[in-house]
Amino acid sequence: MKHLLILIIAILATGCTTQFNPKTDRNAAMFFTSRVEHDVVYRTVDGKDQRLNLYLPDNFIGKDPWFINDGKGKKPTLLHIHGGGWVEGSKDQIVLNLLPYIFRDWVVISINYRLADEAKAPAAIDDCLAALQWVHNNAEKYDIDTNRIVLSGGSAGGHLALLTGMLKEGDLLCEGKLKARNAGDVAAIVNWYGVTDFEINPHPIEWFGEDIDLNEYVKTLSPINYVRKDGPPILTIHGTLDEAVPVKQAVNLHEKLREAGIQEQLVLIQNKKHGDFSAKELTKIYQNIWKFLESAGVETNVD
């Protein structure tokens, strides 16, 4: 026992205890470096509030007011739009999708918008444009870098993210029911298997509504028809066996983006359906996302 104690003391004296010092686990630390503002009203339409959640990289100080600004300056910002076929879903259901960005100290904003049972197309698009405008209008308050605003969403949310970022002021949608406003610039769009062309995709009649000019809706609600030379960089992730949103749409969109000289990348996940990606595949996908955003000039706050 005496010899064992001497050995332990000798080890401590040589500084070998460093092997017990864990590296910082930022996943564990997020509780103390992030806060949430929940159900913030970004617009009111027909007497009903449309709300968003903000996930903010602040510092926890252990006393009232508990959190203070982290003092690190302007942040890259994700505006995330949930999916659900334009008929269901919520900003509160996709929190785990946002963690990779929160981990990197982004400002992350997740929005609700009017679903089909509240208002038909193009109401959801109008809400998304209003949310983007709200982000720009509140950039100073929340340390948002307006040169690093990224739009993202999955499925219907991917479709809405594409339209929100690709529309230009004055574009008319759905027989003139919506005239696009200047909602502010975006640095890039990350589209997870979103609809790009209703000439190919089954028509969501529940969202389109009845007694409409279907050809007009198909044309003006398809992001592929808004590819322009000055459009934002676009990254698309899509499974090759996707039946809900046929992958040919993504292929066609990116061919047209390349022809227009738009920075783009299409990440095809072989033999996968509508978003059923494995952990290994998602790891590679996010590596692609960070690399793509950096190449588009969006510093992603890597330590």
Q: What is the DSSP annotation of 88-123?
A: S--TTS-GGGGHHHHHTT-EEEEE----TTT--TTH
| Contact indicator for 198, 156 with CB cutoff of 8 Å | no
DSSP state of 224: G
Go through the domains of the chain in sequence order and give each one's CATH number.
32-295 (3.40.50.1820)
Cα–Cα distance for residue pair 55/38, rounded to 1 Å: 9
Cα–Cα distance for residue pair 128/131, rounded to 1 Å: 5
Task: Give per-10-residue mean pLDDT for the chain (303 aa).
Answer: 34 37 65 86 97 92 85 94 97 91 95 98 98 98 97 98 98 98 97 98 96 98 97 98 97 98 98 95 97 96 65
Predicted confidence (pLDDT) per residue in 25-36, tens digit? 767 766 677 889
DSSP E strand stretches across 46-186: 48-56, 58-60, 67-69, 75-81, 107-111, 144-154, 172-173, 178-179
> How buried is residue 285: exposed, middle or buried, by Cβ count under 10 Å (0-12/13-18/19+)?
middle
The whole model's pTM is what?
Answer: 0.90
